[in-house]
């Protein structure tokens, strides 16, 4: 099997999703070169303050920053539209390690579950997977906190948020989420992490936060691998 795998790698060497350059065998991952990973912009303390203002949760955390058409945006595009669900797990694990440190160093608490921001059924069918679930899986690996992918569901189709204003985004996602009836007993008194790819205005996260609060979650942390700048 290794012989076949090595032969395939020889014929079709892995290349970086950012630069297109070949990825060496010694590289830590199969998606981008380590030097490119290290050059991706991380959040600053002032970014995290801004994130806390945008989100209605008890706590919030992002690891990378996202600028339109920057290197990180290429990864998000491939994650959402290129079928690269394992990329979500990889980014979730890296940023989840940062989240683990943040929780241990800054918060006097721990968490019971991770839940991904759900996709509407037609979008899930079209894409074939929920990228936020794979991000959540990576975060779970990094933190040891279990993930419940079907705790919440998106019950209403929403248009893409990309070109909408903050007010339009809030209206677009209003009443978009519900807790699955068979999961309601799992929320009361629990501390929950919401996992997503990129936070821009926080409107999607906040709508899910509202639903969890109504179900008596005790504390909520909004987590994304990146926040838009």
User: Cα 25 from chain centroid?
Assistant: 27
What CA–CA distances, in Å, run from 195 to 16, 19, 166, 204, 225?
Answer: 25, 27, 20, 11, 8
- pTM metric for this prediction: 0.89
Write out pLDDT tens, residues 91-108: 999 999 999 999 999 998
Structure tokens of 9? 């790698």
Residues 6+ apart with CB under 8 A from 129: 85
Q: Which residue, 154, 159, 168, 156, is CA-closest to 196?
A: 154
Question: Residue 8: pLDDT band by 50, 70, 90 thresholds?
Answer: very low
> What is the number of residues in the chain?
229
Instruction: Determine the average pLDDT of the residues in 9-35.
Output: 88
CA angle 115, 17, 114 (to 5 degrees): 10
Task: Look at residue 6 in the predicted model and tell me its pLDDT.
Answer: 47
Domain boundaries, the chain: 1-39, 41-228
Instruction: Determine the average pLDDT of the residues in 44-67.
Output: 97
Burial string for 95-131 (b: 16+ CB within 10 Å, else e) reads bbbbbeebbeeeeeeebbbbbbbbbeeeeeeeeeebb
Of 35-39, 51-55, 97-101, 123-127, minimum mean pLDDT range:
123-127
H helices present in 57-153, as ranges: 71-81, 85-106, 121-127, 131-143
Q: Are 38 and 70 in contact, with CB atoms under 8 Å apart?
A: no
pLDDT at 170 over 90: no
Backbone angles phi, psi at 33, to 5 degrees: -70, 150
Q: What is the CATH number of domain 41-228?
A: 3.40.50.2020
pLDDT at 13 over 90: no
Question: Residue 159: pLDDT band by 50, 70, 90 thresholds?
Answer: low
């Amino acid at each position: 099997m290794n012989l076949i795998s090595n032969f395939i790698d020889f014929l079709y060497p892995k290349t970086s999703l950012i630069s297109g350059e070949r990825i060496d065998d010694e590289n830590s991952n199969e998606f981008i070169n380590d030097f490119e990973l290290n050059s991706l912009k991380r959040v600053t303390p002032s970014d995290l303050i801004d994130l806390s203002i945008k989100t209605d949760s008890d706590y919030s955390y992002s690891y990378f920053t996202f600028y339109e058409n920057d290197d990180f945006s290429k990864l998000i595009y491939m994650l959402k539209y290129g079928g690269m669900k394992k990329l979500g797990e990889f980014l979730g694990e890296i940023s989840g390690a940062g989240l683990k440190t943040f929780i241990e160093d800054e918060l006097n608490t721990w968490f019971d579950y991770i839940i991904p921001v759900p996709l509407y059924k037609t979008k899930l069918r079209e894409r074939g997977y929920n990228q936020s679930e794979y991000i959540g899986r990576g975060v779970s690996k990094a933190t040891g906190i279990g993930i419940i992918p079907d705790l919440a569901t998106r019950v209403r189709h929403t248009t893409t948020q990309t070109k909408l204003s903050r007010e339009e985004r809030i209206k677009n996602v209003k009443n978009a989420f519900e807790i699955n009836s068979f999961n309601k007993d799992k929320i009361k008194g629990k501390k929950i992490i919401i996992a997503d790819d990129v936070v821009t205005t926080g409107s999607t996260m906040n709508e899910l936060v509202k639903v969890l609060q109504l179900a008596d979650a005790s504390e909520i942390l909004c987590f994304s691998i990146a926040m838009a700048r």
